[in-house]
Amino acid sequence: MAADFYRAFDRAYLVDAFNRARQPDYRSVFQQDRDRILFTPAFRRLQAKTQVFQAGEYDFYRTRLTHSLEVSRTAESIAIFLARTRRGVAIDLHLLEAICLAHDIGHPPFGHAGERSLNTLMSNLGGFEGNAQTLRILTRTIYARSGGRSGMSPSRALLDGVLKYKRLYSDRGTDTHHFIYDDQAEVLEFCFGTRDLAAKLGGTKPNEFKSLECQVMDLADDIAYSCFDIIDGWKARFLTPDKVEAWAGGKKFHAAQHKHLSLLQELMKNGKLQPVMNGLVGELIQSASLAPTKNFMSAKTRRHAWTLVVKPDALARIKLHKALCKDLVYGSSALRQIEFKGERILGQLARTLFDNYLAPSGKPSPLVPSDTHRCILDASDSVAAARQLCDYISGMTDAYALRSYKRLLDPDYGSISELI
């Protein structure tokens, strides 16, 4: 592994009012990053958050936790493959693991339905976005300390790696998602030396500007969705040969796509889908290559000196599988009903808490844990108080959100024994 691929610039870590100076030890900066994420409640809660199917419904479907682990392993394989095919490029595997393990920790309960619900509620208060919340957790709230919450002093390379989106909420235009919070402009400045990325990038959109590690994580995420969600959808009987055939009948595909769909149908009939999909992961990994690029950051860090290139056929196959899942799995009436319920539950729970704590007059009832209650009361203004509430709600697991909803809004639930 090339020792000089990363520089002091990449290893520098954030130190501010929320992030303490690190104590050096026997680990590298990136090993510390990985460990600081791995041993936190924010990471462990992913085991009980919805990926596609509601967490806990069955024991063999993927959760946010298993998805993050699979993305991490897939990304590592991509990095190893790239190192063998492109001399001088050596992505740090500890850094890449940290990025992949962290990439979903900002997601709220009930998946994207919960994200939509909180974003609607926060529309006039700075918005809510899973990627922005991940950034907030890493830099502001991951640790509970005696004086409040704090960040983990993340390295510049880690922050850049999880920054899938770099457009500020105030610059989002008519888009409802894919942004970071306005007060995270300081993170942009730490990572890139500027808060105005659009001016530095010229014709490139800020959300399209990604470090090499972020690009690898993004591809690993797409591979996981396009292969493993196919397996889960088939096991749950949302995907069957007949359903795939009916779906394909109303669409236009080129010859290669028809071949892929026919293969999927045959594998489903013969019960051989899972091993072949697992093998496809390896094929998609080996479809990746690197091309050198130049931009305003490439002289400072090699992380921005390379573009990840994926073979067109592999991209088309990923796109095909994702479209299949979007229509027949995520878009099925059964899952939409669960999504609808989750969005309603989280929305009503959040509005109840917001009404209690953000009312212009009166003393709010202590409806949240004492430390969170104190932080909300100590907030500088209503916007800061709303963000504290959003931190609490988005950090819930699916089951905890449901219990909290029942305690506050279900008249037949809430004896003292249930609260202990």
3-state secondary structure of 30: helix
Lookup result for tokens 């909180």: 118
Identify whether the C-beta of residue 156 lies closer than 8 Å to the C-beta of residue 30: no
pLDDT at 99: 98
Answer whether 166's CB lies under 8 Å from 209's CB: yes
CA dihedral over 408, 411, 412, 416, signed as positive or negative:
positive
User: Sign of dihedral through CA atoms 350, 356, 357, 358?
Assistant: positive
Buried b (16+ CB within 10 A) or exposed e, 94-109: bbbbbbbbbbbbbbbb
* 268 token code pair: 């489903």
Q: What is the pLDDT of residue 148?
A: 83
Full DSSP string of 212-267: HHHHHHHHHHHHHHHHHHHHHHHHTTSS-HHHHHHHHHTS---HHHHHHHHHHHHH
Computed from CA positions of residues 20, 21, 23, 29, in that sequence, does the dihedral angle turn out positive or negative? positive
- Does residue 89 sit in helix, strand or coil? coil
- Residue 2, pLDDT score: 45
Joined together, the tokens standing for residue 250 give 């109303």
Give the whole-angstrom CA distance, residue 280 versus residue 260.
11
Interatomic CA distance for residues 398 and 1, integer angstroms: 41
Give the span between the Cα atoms of 176 and 415, in whole angstroms.
Answer: 40
Residue 294, token pair as written in the block: 């130049």
Determine phi and psi for 253, rounding to 5 degrees.
-130, 150
Q: What are phi and psi of 50, to 5 degrees?
A: -65, 135
CB within 8 Å of 131: residues ≥ 6 apart: 103, 106, 162, 163, 164, 165, 178, 180
pLDDT value, residue 59: 53
What domains appear along the chain, each with residue ranges and CATH number? Answer: 8-73+84-206 (1.10.3210.10), 213-331 (no CATH), 334-419 (no CATH)
The tokens for 286 are 């080996």
Question: Residue 250: its pLDDT value, please?
Answer: 75
Residue type, 203: G
- For residue 61, give the DSSP letter: S
Q: How far is CA 59 from the centre of its chain?
A: 22
What is the pLDDT, as a whole number, of residue 152? 97
Cβ–Cβ < 8 Å for 288, 203:
no
pLDDT in single tens digits along all 420 residues of the chain: 345 899 999 999 999 999 999 998 999 999 999 999 999 999 999 988 876 655 545 555 678 899 999 999 999 999 999 999 999 999 999 999 999 999 999 999 998 899 999 999 999 999 999 999 999 999 999 998 877 899 999 999 999 999 999 999 999 988 889 999 999 999 999 999 999 999 999 888 999 999 999 999 999 999 998 999 899 889 889 999 999 999 998 788 888 888 899 999 999 999 999 999 999 999 999 999 999 999 999 999 999 999 999 999 999 999 999 999 999 998 999 889 988 999 999 999 999 999 999 987 778 999 999 999 999 999 999 999 999 999 999 999 999 999 999 999 998 886 655 554
